[in-house]
Chain A
Amino acid sequence: MTTSVTDKYVAALRAMLTGDGDYDRLSAELQARDGARSGDVISALTGMALSTAARRRFPDGWTNADVVRLVAQVRVRFGDVTGDIDPRIAEGTLRGALGDAAAAENLDNTAMAIAVPALLSVLLDQQGISGATEIDAFLADVRPLADAWLARQQ
């Protein structure tokens, strides 16, 4: 059985990005319906969203210094005084999204789950993707990339 990106998965990611929906409820419903495969689809969607947003943010290439500074901007934006967004995890995640696969190896999944929505929020905001129309257009770009990624995994 294959699981592809459906409207409900896109709605879940949209809820994560906007914070105006119930991401936890939607993802729980998807997990109940699709089982472990739901995690693959959500990972594919969020991964492609992060990769797309990150590559658009640094269209002419990037340096480690760019990544360090951007993660600091994310932590400032979220008032992360206690370091809940682990800088090294967030930097590794972002470098991975930008194509440095080795940087994203062996990162703690729980810490990544905290870092990814925060990274996405700031990356999209910096590109002016904040309104419903812009987010829907962004998600329309991401969805086929996630579908293609999932197809390659099957």
Chain B
Amino acid sequence: MPVTDDEVAVLRAHLAGDQVRYRELYGRLDRSAATRTTYSLLITAAFMEAVERRFAGNGTAADVISYVADVRSRSDDVAEALDARAAERLIRDVLTDEETADIDGKTRGQVYIIVLSALVSDERFDDAGLDAFLATAREKADDYLARRTGS
């Protein structure tokens, strides 16, 4: 099952900072197991796309440490919620295939959504830019889903 327009709309509202609309759309989202999987994959794909845009070609380990600290320094809540070492490893995983299998799902999810939000904020997308970014992420997620199901 590919990513749906509704799932893209939910993530778009979150990344655009429209939390009222995000909560409204998320509340209406189909919560079946299949949908939870595709929505998670959309977030993962968006995280990977955002990391590649930010760090590809010039992302040293020091850059990653500094960036995660920059994100954690933006608010005390984020500093508390974001596991620095897990965030650094998951960013490096996109860049250099670091082994991250030991990072649990909850930590992984927090890293993806917090760092993704920060990366998108830093990009300062206009509406068209955010749409294009999400279209690329959606394509990546759909490609992965297609490969996984062998279709």
- How many chain A residues sit at the interface, stated as a range, is 10 to 19
- The yes or no answer to A104 lying at the interface (CB within 8 A) is no
Main secondary structure of the interface of B (DSSP, over half): helix
- The yes or no answer to B118 lying at the interface (CB within 8 A) is no
Distance (whole angstroms) from the CB of A105 to the closest CB of chain B:
16
Chain B residues within 8 Å of A79, by CB: 61-62
- The yes or no answer to B25 lying at the interface (CB within 8 A) is no
Chain A residues within 8 Å of B79, by CB: 64-65, 68
Stretch at the interface among A70-78, A127-135, A140-148: A70-78
Binding site for B on A (CB under 8 A): 64-66, 68-69, 71-73, 75-76, 79-81, 83, 86-88
Asked whether, in the complex, the Cβ of B73 is within 8 Å of the Cβ of A65, the reply is yes
Q: Would you mind naming 30 contact pairs between A and B with Cβ atoms under 8 Å apart?
A: A64-B76, A64-B79, A65-B73, A66-B73, A68-B69, A68-B72, A69-B69, A69-B70, A69-B73, A71-B69, A72-B65, A72-B66, A72-B68, A72-B69, A73-B66, A75-B65, A76-B62, A76-B65, A76-B66, A79-B62, A80-B65, A81-B61, A81-B65, A81-B92, A83-B84, A83-B85, A83-B88, A86-B85, A87-B69, A88-B84
Distance (whole angstroms) from the CB of A71 to the closest CB of chain B:
7
Chain A residues within 8 Å of B85, by CB: 83, 86-87
